[in-house]
Amino acid sequence: MKDIRFWIVLFFVIRLFNITQAPLEISHNWRQVTGNMIARNFLETDANIFYPRLDFAGEKDGITGTEFPLMNYLHYGISKVLGYQHWYGRLINLILASLGIWYFFRIIRRFFTEEHAFYASLILLFSLWFSFSRKSMPDIFSISLCMMSLFHGLRYLYDQKGVKDLSLYFILGTLGILSKIPSAYIFILFFLPMLDKKIPLKSKNWFAITSILILLPSIWWYFSWVPHLNEQSGFVHYFMGDPILVGAKEIMANLGQTSMKFYADAMGYIAFILFVGALLWAIKKKENQVLLVFGLLSFTFVLYIFKSGYNFPHHSYYILPFVPALAFVLGWGLTQIPKKAVVYSALGIIAIENVANQQHDFFTKDSEKHKLKLESILDHFSERDDLIAISGAPNPQEIYFAHRKGWIFNENDLQSNEFLQKIDEGGCKLVVINKHHFDQVIEGSEKIFEDEDYRIYAIKKK
């Protein structure tokens, strides 16, 4: 029971429950369907990884700048062999998250103690990672790759293992940062070995060169290729962040919600209270190693928070890369408690609170299941390459389930002659209204289908 591998495998199996569900859970279905769109378009349209496509660009081809679609490409690769399914991205993420926690454990064990590593890894398993590690989203996928890269980079510097570790540092780091550039924040920890006089200068030089090479693909992708795709296609979707000062002002204006990401979302209330106690205890005891690691990670993460601006306090997944830092401090704090019964009780309470708060993510509400029939309904009235307009904007979830391309709109759009003219001129064939969004009638258009969930109109060509 004290072998972390047992817990990693156990939680892997637990999170397999209902993993084949479509992205219908309320929390962050938007980001999951956009990733799934990219994977499905690799399969059905063009498998060129440099040209990710989304389905809600109207009459355009949907090519746009996004995060580097490595996870989506793995989803595509499995689909190429087994046929497309919604849930492959979930499984890919869960596998990488499990490996990431194993490497997180190994890093802490290498530089601190096995007990510290064990507690911190359990906390990470119980945290917000519990549910997000089974979503088709690249956040934990990316930070896990970066933690694996961090391990091999540290081993290269401290243990002088040679080309193998340096190569793994390069490959995993390159892929991790490409997948989600904020994950690079953890590499600030290499500041410590680079100042260590015991490490040969030759090793540091090779490491520095490799580190520069790791960054180059991400710099090219995010600051050259993404803007190029956006300009070329005329369709912009990916958020590249705010200027630091603008983002800082937005954070200050939303300070309450920003702080909530730390004390409520990351690990739950109980864990955060214990984390604060552990941090204060580390300061009192002058645990400089613990404080230095946490301080470096906090410094770089604050820059990321300011760069994210308004989005950080309004989306739970923005805190995900920092949860390992919080778990690291709390894990150390638990080692300071002499009575193990108290430690295990605290861990149990943390686990119960987090699982209870996240268990809803493992189930699909009955109120959402009608969306699964949308594709078969539309198959009676249109071909797959026919353009449609569907309600739900700004969430593209239902155009994904429609398995069509076109436009997404809200209630106000239907009252706009300009919007109706735009979709007409763009070649839209059908307008689909989810009556649970709003129950609006389009005057002067032919209604061709209606049930308790949807109303569909045919666009009359002028």
Instruction: Give the list of residues 6+ apart from residue 263 with CB closer than 8 angstroms, or none.
Output: 269, 272
State the pLDDT at residue 454.
96
Reduced to 3 states (helix: H, G, I; strand: E, B; else coil), residue 420 is helix
State the pLDDT at residue 371.
97
Single out the residue of 419, 366, 368, 415 nearest to residue 389, CA to CA. 419
Reduced to 3 states (helix: H, G, I; strand: E, B; else coil), residue 448 is strand
State the pLDDT at residue 461.
59
CA atoms within 13 A of residue 449's CA, in its CB half-sphere:
18
Give the DSSP H/E element, type plus range, for residue 389: strand 387-391
115 vs 5: CA distance, rounded Å: 14
Sign of the alpha-carbon torsion through 382, 385, 387, 390: positive
201 vs 160: CA distance, rounded Å: 12
State the pLDDT at residue 462.
52
State the pLDDT at residue 218.
98
Single out the residue of 440, 430, 436, 384 nearest to residue 407, CA to CA. 430
Please count the other Cβ atoms lying within 10 Å of the Cβ belonging to residue 17.
12
Report the phi/psi class of residue 433: left, alpha or beta, with left for phi > 0 and alpha for psi in -120 to 50.
Answer: beta
- Do residues 42 and 77 lie in contact, with contact meaning Cβ atoms separated by under 8 Å? no
Give the DSSP H/E element, type plus range, for residue 227: helix 226-233
Phi, then psi, of 448 in degrees rounded to 5: -110, -10
Q: Which residues pair with 434 in a beta bridge?
A: 454
Single out the residue of 187, 194, 195 nearest to residue 218, CA to CA. 187
pTM: 0.95
State the pLDDT at residue 2.
86
- Do residues 390 and 403 lie in contact, with contact meaning Cβ atoms separated by under 8 Å? no
| pLDDT per residue as tens digits for the range 418-435 | 998 999 999 999 999 999
Cβ neighbourhood burial of 422 (10 Å; 0-12, 13-18, 19+): middle
* Percent of the chain clearing pLDDT 90 (strictly above): 92
State the pLDDT at residue 177.
98
Low-confidence ranges of the chain (pLDDT < 70): 461-462
State the pLDDT at residue 241.
82
State the pLDDT at residue 62.
96
State the pLDDT at residue 306.
96
